């Protein structure tokens, strides 16, 4: 699992119990850990929100619907909770995710 890849994952109980697309945001330098830090992807509804980059589905990312990357919902997921690989964000989309992460984490 590499940074910028989109995977199906069950992220926990309740809200995150059913598998959903997630974007790996953890640095590849920490690839030997038994878990990954991810941001949830949510089907876009209404207007785009400032902190949630809107991603249009395409062949590269493999998304089935217009989705918002919820950088305000970061979750650590164990390897065993990952399902199938879905795709990968484009470089431009990942840069938008990075910008939003900088803002939400107070680094910008």
- Concatenating the DSSP letter of every residue in 41-96 gives EEE--SSPPTTS-EE---TTT--SS-EEEEEEEEEEEEGGGEEEEEEE--HHHHHH
Categorize the per-residue pLDDT at 48 as very low, low, confident or very high, splitting at 50, 70 and 90.
confident
Higher per-residue pLDDT: 43 or 11:
43
Which two tokens mark 24?
């790996």
The domain containing residue 95 runs over which residues?
5-105
Measured distance CA(108)–CA(101) in Å, rounded:
9
pLDDT of residue 14 exceeding 80: no
How many domains would you assign to the chain? 1
pTM score, two decimals?
0.92
Query: In this structure, what CATH number is given to the domain that contains residue 68?
Result: 2.30.30.110
The H or E element containing residue 20 is: strand 20-24
Measured distance CA(100)–CA(68) in Å, rounded:
12
């Amino acid at each position: 699992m590499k940074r910028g890849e989109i995977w199906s994952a069950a992220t926990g109980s309740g809200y995150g119990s059913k598998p959903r697309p997630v974007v790996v945001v953890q640095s590849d330098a920490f690839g030997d850990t038994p878990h990954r830090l991810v941001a949830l992807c949510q089907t876009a509804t209404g207007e785009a929100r400032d902190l949630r980059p809107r991603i249009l589905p395409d062949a590269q990312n493999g998304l089935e619907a217009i989705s918002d990357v919820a950088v305000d919902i970061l979750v650590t997921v164990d390897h065993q909770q990952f399902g199938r690989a879905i795709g990968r964000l484009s470089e431009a989309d990942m840069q938008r995710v990075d910008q939003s992460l900088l803002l939400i984490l107070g680094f910008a």
